[in-house]
Chain A
Amino acid sequence: MDALTVFIPLLPLLAALIIGLGHFLGVLQGEAKESLTADISLWTLTLACLMALVVAGAELLGNNTGLFVVGDWLRCENVVVSVNFISSGFSVYVAALFALLLVIILRFSVNYLHRERGYFRFFFIYNLFAFAMLLLVLSGSSVLSFVGWEIAGLCSFLLIAYQYDRPVASGNAVRVFVTNRIGDTGFLMGMGLSVYWLNTLDWQAISHPVDRLGTAEATGIAFCFALAACAKSAQLPFTPWLARAMEGPTPSSAAFYGAVMIHAGVYLLILLQDLFEQAPMVMGLLVVVGALTALYSYLVGLTQTDIKSSLVFATSGQLGLMFMECGLGFWEIASWHLAAHAVVRGYQVLTAPSLLHNVHDNPIQAVSPLLAKSRWLYLASVQRFWLDQIADWALVKPVQQLAHDLSYFDDQGLDKVMGCSAPALNAAASLAQLKEHSIGARLNNVVDDFSHGSGLAGTLTQWAAAVMHWLEVRLVLRGISKATIGRSRNLGRRVNQIERTLLRPRYLVLFVCITLLVTF
């Protein structure tokens, strides 16, 4: 049964490749091919789901060995990056659950996205996402998990910007992606420290190292992975990205931020539970972060007026609780909590558009009078504790300022020496040409303008090219080629002349006479 784990992530990847290539080559296009696309996705993902269920069943019966090794991907001195898949324990159950949820949400989106402009794009990204999540969950090596982690982040970016012509959507997508990159840094640093201290990249060996780690080392690695988990699962101070991520189509919101991807952080914590047990400080940190997030989400959630936002803060609140449970060492509870929350929240986000109908006659419960009276808290809650503004002020602004200063240095200093970048110049030049063309004027000579460098380096290149060009035209093309041809033509003419002279009758007779004289 272990070998099946390889195919669980590969099947959605296959579907993604088929749909992507088909759409790229123009085979899958138009309304007629929508059902084919849906069928390909559904069949492959259902098959993957069945396999995941079989593996989970085999695990229940105790038939799995725990790890399926495919081979080595990379060897660098004594660090080996192996391709292996976990086939036992929590990972398998989570994979089965995620696969099941992904199939259900996929079935939902078949109807939901009917006749949408980006139908094929959505299914391509969704399948890629399914591949990424299943790879993340099942991979036994942190490198492959990171691949899944990154592709999932990328898919999230692509689907938030699903309607990329809307500036809000694309702006939010970038913001979410950049926030998540902070967590990716943590993941990468965790991997780097594991290689440095443990010489391994396998989850199993990171959790149970051969020589026991010192507390300091364990804290270092655990902190890095905890940072990654916090960013992915929207814990403080990263929580605001989750609210921005709701721009995508509803099924993708359900899959990414209700059911599946948002739990990746908690999954990482549970996977590395033995490592965290050795780092009490990080455990304490998890409790604090989880509690703060839960409190924050509760308070902000109270003032939300639309369904999706309140679901978002309910999600981050629950995730905060999971982080707390992990921090307190209740790994079993956290696992069950994760599974239950994935199902419930996936359902809620999926039905968010019709939720108002369902709760039509249920009035909203009033908050307790103590909370209702505190106006400052209300203001803070409405403003979501100014987290976005603080991030803007503390991070975005300084970076923008720095970029501005550097750009000034670039314009005033470097560009004068090295020249402007060509594409910008060309775009400006071609725009100007277009304008000239439309008013019928030819202000400057196009040919001279073409190989034009700016700045000191550009001018030098231009001169060098001009000299080479002169050399080429004068010496090589005209000098050697033309001169050779001309000279050989002259030579030919001469030879012809001589021959013509020789063929005159008097010379012919003379030659015949001479020949006769010589022979006899």
Chain B
Amino acid sequence: MGILSLLLWMPALGAVFLAFAPGDKPRVIRCLAHLFSSVTLLLSLWLLIHYDQHNAATQFNENFPINPDLGSEYALGVDGLSLPMVLLATVLTSVALLASFSITDSIKGYHLCVLLLEFGILGVFLAQDWALFYTFWEVTLIPLFFLIGRWGGKRRHAASLNFVLYTMGGSVFMLLSLLAISEYDLEYEGTLMTSMHQMAKDMPWQEQVLVLLGFLIGFGVKLPIFPLHGWLPLAHVEAPSPISILLSGILLKMGAYGLIRVLVMLPEAAHILQPLLIFLGLFGMLYGGLLAWRQTDLKAMVAYSSVSHMGLVLLGMSTLTQLGLSGAVLQMTAHGLIAGALFLLVGLLYERTHTRNIQDYSSLVHTMPRYTLLMTLVLLAAMGLPGTVGFIAELSVLMAGYQQWGGLMVLFGMSMLITAAYCLRTIGVLFTGPVRPAMHAIPDLHSAGLLAAGILVVGIVLLGILPEALIQLSAATLSELSAVIKSRPL
């Protein structure tokens, strides 16, 4: 059993242990869940240390045929594209568990679902076989359905149903596209990502475009792409805040990750659909930003800002150059940390005041100085202030976009301005202004909350000051991927 299998099955093992744990002992359950998520985190760190970043190919490969009739295999592997996402997944799961102390209602099921969710997410990023990928993609839905529907806010049932319907609807298109590619399986090669690459080469470009559109719908629901983001505001707002962290921090990245893999698989179609991708990216950025600016609900604001930030990812990958892809991967990591931290901090605030309306807050700096510091840093990072990881990502995408389309990047600049507008307004309204009696005596961050937020903020600032390690981690793989795209122009 290889390291990747160990990493992948560790949360599932934790879920099995939890299933047999006594349900009336919350301490035992929390300890078990934390233990398994920490071990997973340590395993992913071990992976990081032993990963050879100069090697562009997938590493730590594991192959094991599961269904010879269909040709599907249990194939795992990491490369520079998936390793940052694996790390993000393990870190954010640990952070989400740290933020889960406020959940006191049937915690056994809750922790079980979180570990299962981690299992599904890791599976998506580690799978090197499209059948396996699809399976894990669907696996993530089940725990999320329960997590939102059982522990969510007032409109949780509508939210969870909506979320599952949207994603299932998208996956149908993804499945159709995968089946369409396997039609060209002349030599019976199975469903491995590498062999599907070979099959896709034989497709005529018209079919490639149709297949890519199918993938765009499938992954676009998760990414999210306008107008397929209808599930996102509702699900993010209604989910309990630790789950919002995972939703926007890592679940959205699954869409972006899949889309990059597909763009490399269908380069001709990618070149044809490039204008559409750019339009969707830029429009998503402006659209999400403007709507975030309108929201009075803090969580809805962060949710729409996710739409805006993921538009940046789409814009980065639609350049189809190494710099743009690198910017997209950086923004995926950056947004994972920033949106995770934002949802965490908003959730911690909600626990204390039970209101999410921005206008109910005022002058928190007097009562919560530590919270103020962390929240301000994260909001500034969301703006893309230099010295934070958000800046590095925005800069890469901006440079890549400018090299290709020049003046069109004015829209990019406008979206940055809008982001700055709502981030700074939030800082202003939350922390300054006249002192209100209702805002007295709110306890500041401490213990678990402070630790969880601290980890994310330190990551945001550290990767912003020393981004080289993060860039180099995926550089080799991305240069190979962009070379593949470049080698097959229309």
Contacts and interface: CB of A to CB of B under 8 A. Distances in A.
B425 A426 contact: yes
A469 B294 contact: yes
A468 interface: yes
Given A423-B424, A461-B418, A485-B165, A469 B230 contact: no
Interface in A429-457: 430-431, 434, 446-447, 450-451
A485 to B, nearest CB: 7
Nearest to B363: A430
B277 interface: no
Nearest to B165: A484
A450 B291 contact: no
A446 B357 CA distance: 11
B481 to A, nearest CB: 30
A431 B231 contact: no
Nearest to A422: B425
A477 B290 CA distance: 16
Contacts of A434: 434, 436
A60 interface: no
B161 A465 contact: no
B290 A423 contact: no
A144 to B, nearest CB: 18
B227 A426 contact: no
Interface of A: 24-25, 422-423, 426-427, 430-431, 434, 446-447, 450-451, 461, 464-466, 468-469, 472, 475-477, 480-481, 484-485, 488
B290 A426 contact: no
Contacts of A461: 290, 293, 418, 421
A465 B424 contact: no
A370 B367 CA distance: 64
Task: Identify whether the interface residues of B are mostly helix, strand, loop, or mixed.
Answer: helix
Contact of B434 (A422, A431, A465): A431
Interface in B321-359: 358-359
Given A434-B434, A476-B229, A485-B161, A426 B428 contact: yes
A269 to B, nearest CB: 35
B227 A430 contact: no
Contacts of A423: 424-425, 428, 432
B433 A451 contact: no
Given A426-B429, A464-B290, A476 B230 contact: yes
Contacts of B433: 426-427, 430-431
Contacts, number: 76
A480 B230 contact: yes
B396 interface: no
23 contacts: A24-B370, A25-B370, A422-B425, A422-B428, A423-B432, A427-B433, A430-B362, A430-B434, A431-B434, A434-B434, A446-B359, A451-B294, A461-B293, A464-B290, A465-B291, A468-B291, A469-B291, A469-B294, A476-B226, A476-B227, A477-B233, A484-B169, A488-B165
Given A447-B296, A475-B227, A481 B162 contact: yes
Contacts of B165: 484-485, 488
A469 B429 CA distance: 22
A260 B76 CA distance: 63
Nearest to B427: A423
B391 interface: no
Nearest to B435: A434
Contacts of B429: 426, 430
A404 to B, nearest CB: 25
Interface residues of B, number: 34
B287 to A, nearest CB: 6
Given A465-B294, A481-B162, A481-B234, A450 B359 contact: yes
Contacts of A451: 293-294
B296 A450 contact: yes
Interface string B215-227: 0000000000011
Nearest to B307: A472
A465 B293 contact: yes
B274 to A, nearest CB: 24
Contacts of A24: 370
Contacts of B230: 476-477, 480-481
Nearest to A446: B359
Interface string B287-311: 1001101101000000000000000
B169 to A, nearest CB: 8
Contacts of B233: 477
B359 A427 contact: no
Given A451-B293, A485-B165, 11 more contacts: A24-B370, A423-B424, A426-B429, A451-B294, A461-B290, A466-B294, A472-B291, A475-B227, A476-B226, A480-B230, A485-B161
Nearest to B429: A426
Contacts of B166: 481
Contacts of B294: 450-451, 465-466, 468-469
Contacts of B432: 423, 427
A491 to B, nearest CB: 13
B204 to A, nearest CB: 32
A276 B370 CA distance: 49
B138 to A, nearest CB: 19
Contacts of A430: 362, 429, 433-434
Contacts of B421: 422, 461
A476 B362 CA distance: 33
A474 B254 CA distance: 28
Contacts of B293: 451, 461, 465
A447 B295 CA distance: 9
Interface string B423-462: 0110011001110100000000000000000000000000
Give the 6 A-B CB pairs with smallest separation, nearest first. A465-B290, A423-B428, A481-B230, A451-B294, A476-B230, A468-B290
Contacts of A476: 226-227, 229-230
Contacts of B436: 434
Nearest to A472: B291
Nearest to A428: B433
A426 B227 CA distance: 32
